[in-house]
Every structure is written in structure tokens, then in C-alpha cells.
Copies of this chain bind each other. A is one copy, B any other.
Amino acid sequence: MKRHVRPYGDTTGDGMVQTSFTLPVPAGPKADGAALQLATKMGIDPAMVVHSRPIGDGFTFFVVYGSVRHIVDLDDVRVVERDYPLLPPAEVNTALRRLLRRKLVVVGACIGTDAHTVGIDAILNIKGFAGEKGLEYYRELKVVNLGAQVSVPELVRRARAEKADAVLVSQVVTQRDAHLLNTREMSAAFREAMGERRPLLIAGGPRFDPLMAADLGVDRVFGRSTTPGDVASYLVHAVRTRKENP
């Protein structure tokens, strides 16, 4: 694979992209010019405003096509690489037993006012996701699923009571950065309440960027299409790492 790539429309290197947006300006040539200016600032050059449509009196919606100047440097791409092996359930169980000699306790919840449990249930419930059984299926895991709209103090209380090794929180609503605010509040609360002895903190949800873990004060972030196996394997890895570097 080449190191430097550009978007591909129908020819290598043509750089073609599509974009759409609304500007708070009345439709007309001036609006089209404004759209063109924005596209140019985005690096689309030449840009074609191929569609503009008034929305009410004060807004115009645009579709723009064109070639972006930018070059993607694949060597510069930062991703959270899976730095641990994907293990089948049996190996997860064996590894955990060897490491802990007791069940690993996982407490899960949708925190804040978020009530989207389907995602965390997909990870925790036996039923699972994408053909993989959820964490409840693992013999060496004890799963406590607190469900939806759990407040942070309540979560800390329950985690402490259950002696949680890992706390898994889900955040699906992202408007006004709700997911970021709630997750930061959660990690701060655990730090405050337990300091170094806090459980592993794992956040997940479809709009999270896995690169944000440190920024959010959690150990790991999982994004869209996560499977239970991803999480179980990570747990083994994290427990082992904690044990090796206490």
C-alpha cells in the first residue's frame, strides 16, 4: 500500500469528495459564492456547487463536489491498535482463572440520562452481538448490569458494593457532547472516591473516538461495532497488565 493517498472518484489521485451543508444566508448567487468559499477553505479546489436550495428565508442547503488538495499520510494515521490478542471465550476463562483465582466482576450501566441500553446489552447479555455471546456467557465473569439512566454517585456506590474489577459505561446520546461530559464526570468520581484502587474504567458507544481514552480519564474506549469478544479479550489484557505493573 502506498504511504500517500488521496480520495478516489473515478481515477487514482483525482481527490474527489462530496459534501453538503447549510449556511444561514438567503439563497442566491451570493450564497453560492459563500458555499464555494467554505469549500475552498476546506481544501476543495476546484469546487462545484451542484445544488443549492433555500430552506425558509434565511438558510440555504448546498451540495458541493470537487477535488480536495489534501494528501492523506497513512504513516501519520493514529489508531488505537488492538495491542492484545483476540481470545475465544474458553481462553478468556482460563486466563482469568489463572490470573485472579476468582471471578472478575464487571459492572455495566448507561449513565447520566442516557437510556440506550441496546448497545451495552449487546456486550453484556448472553444473547450477545454479531454472533458472539455476551460477557454473561463467560464462566469466569460476574456481570452486574445496572441498566439505564444510572447516576454517577449510584454507579460508584454499586461498583464499590460489588467490588467491581471493571466498570463498563455506555453513552449513546452525543448532542451537546453529553457523552463526553458524563464520562468525564464518571471517571472523576471514581478517582475521587477510590484513587489508584479504582476499577478499570471502560466507556463505549457508537460516536466515541477510541483515541480519547486518556482525555476522558478512562482506560479504554470502544466505538461502533464493538463485539463482546473484543471487550473480554481486552479485560484479560488489562488485568494482566495491572498485575504485572501494579
Contact of A77 among B12, B33, B79 (CB under 8 A): B33
Within 28-54 of A, Cβ neighbours of B (below 8 Å) are at: 29-30, 32-34, 36-38, 41-44, 46, 48, 50
Question: Quick check: which of A67-75, A100-108, A189-197 contacts chain B, the rest being far away?
Answer: A67-75
Contact of A34 among B32, B72, B209 (CB under 8 A): B72
> For the complex formed by this chain, how many copies does it contain in all?
2
Enumerate chain B residues within 8 angstroms of A42, measured Cβ to Cβ.
17, 42-44, 68, 70
Enumerate chain B residues within 8 angstroms of A29, measured Cβ to Cβ.
79-81
Enumerate chain B residues within 8 angstroms of A243, measured Cβ to Cβ.
none
A16 within 8 A of B: yes
Question: How many residues on chain A are close to B (CB under 8 Å)?
Answer: 47
Enumerate chain B residues within 8 angstroms of A149, measured Cβ to Cβ.
none
A20 within 8 A of B: yes
A153 within 8 A of B: no
A-B pairs with beta carbons under 8 Å apart, 17 shown: A2-B24, A5-B23, A7-B23, A7-B38, A9-B22, A17-B21, A18-B20, A21-B68, A23-B72, A25-B74, A34-B72, A36-B77, A37-B73, A38-B68, A38-B70, A42-B43, A46-B209
How long is the Cα–Cα vector from A24 to B79 in the complex, in angstroms? 18
Q: Are B32 and A8 in contact (CB under 8 A)?
A: no
A183 nearest CB across to chain B (Å): 14
How long is the Cα–Cα vector from A73 to B41 in the complex, in angstroms? 11
A214 within 8 A of B: no
A residues with a Cβ closer than 8 A to B are: 1-2, 5, 7-9, 12, 16-26, 29-30, 32-34, 36-38, 41-44, 46, 48, 50, 59, 68, 70, 72-74, 76-81, 207, 209
Q: Are B21 and A59 in contact (CB under 8 A)?
A: no
Q: Are B78 and A33 in contact (CB under 8 A)?
A: yes
Contact of A18 among B21, B34, B43 (CB under 8 A): B21
